[in-house]
Amino acid sequence: MRIMGIDPGGTTGISIIDVTWDETRYEPTPDCHVESHQIEASWGTGPDSIGWKMRNLIRDVCPDLIALEKFIITQQTVRFTRQPDALWIIGGTRFIADTLLIPVHMQPASLAKTTWDATRLKDTGWARVVKQKHARDALRHALTACVTYKDGV
């Protein structure tokens, strides 16, 4: 199963892993890493825009599942950060996935960061494979989906 993890934002992180799926808890190893990217949000039109880049990447990679950060807006979010980029990328990714019939698994950043914290990434060798901050956060989403995603749920 090919899983694409996405950390949406002004700098969007993307990591792709290939895993063998079974019904037990499975922890993938760094040798299943396919590729990672960080893309700066550009909201123009045409092939240089983030929308086109995401569409082309998703289409070219052909993931079986997209593990996407569930961006939750709270009072704290409104007070400290405004990230329309994250919301637009989430919406665009979901639309692209729908048109390509790819399931999207939404999960909170806190779940990915606690399931795959810095110590665990280092101890399992993943920290050496993906070094960019946002790409690493995307990797956390892909790895967490290995445990939390249930087909059709």
The predicted-structure confidence for 64-99, as pLDDT tens digits, reads as follows: 999 999 877 666 666 666 667 888 889 999 999 999
pLDDT of 153 reads 43
Q: Which of 62, 55, 3, 72 is nearest to 32 (CA)?
A: 3
Contacts of 147 (CB under 8 A, 6+ apart): 25, 26, 115
Separation CA 45–CA 53 (nearest Å): 11
Give the tens place of pLDDT for each residue, 37-49: 898 876 666 667 8
Give the tens place of pLDDT for each residue, 51-61: 888 999 999 99
Assign 28 a pLDDT band (cuts: 50, 70, 90). Answer: confident
Tokens 């996935």 -> residue:
97
